[in-house]
Structure 1
């Protein structure tokens, strides 16, 4: 319950639902896996962070990813922090992404 109870980011008083952004990311042809997490911020409380998996040889950049999300969602929902990986995201035995462990990528 601890990990799934907070699948929402509160950024400067605005509610950002992780699944809404993840749905947009999964529509990108180069993204095979995606997770949205809250990254601590001193003023806003949290900012949106994205961790995505792309195939080897992909030329996707953080800026392109931000433009992709920005074309469909409000600017406060666009990830401020992006990590692009070639290896699969960490998952538990049930196949759920371990978002708590992914937060360490932004510390």
Structure 2
């Protein structure tokens, strides 16, 4: 009788964070560095505090125009904000817990 090889994952894969979630966290950090309330930043960006709160929590996907307005309200540029979000994404754990080329544990079942 032939043996059947089964692959058992070593760890559960963590889903990658969404860009909007990382953007929201970065916006909240920038606002906190300035010791501002949601209302103060939202007013300068021309949006409601409720909408800014949802953006910061990663619930809303803001348009590029809205992101630019928020960057300006926080005294940064769209390019700098995008770079910061990209760096934050790179610092987070990757989706795969196994490095490329690493051996994978196999269990043989009879």
Q: TM-score range by the shorter chain?
A: under 0.3
Instruction: Please identify which structure carries the higher helix content.
Output: 2
TM-score with structure 2 setting the length: 0.26
Specify which structure has the bigger relative contact order, considering alpha-carbon pairs within 8 angstroms and separated by 6 or more residues.
2
Structure number, greater radius of gyration: 2
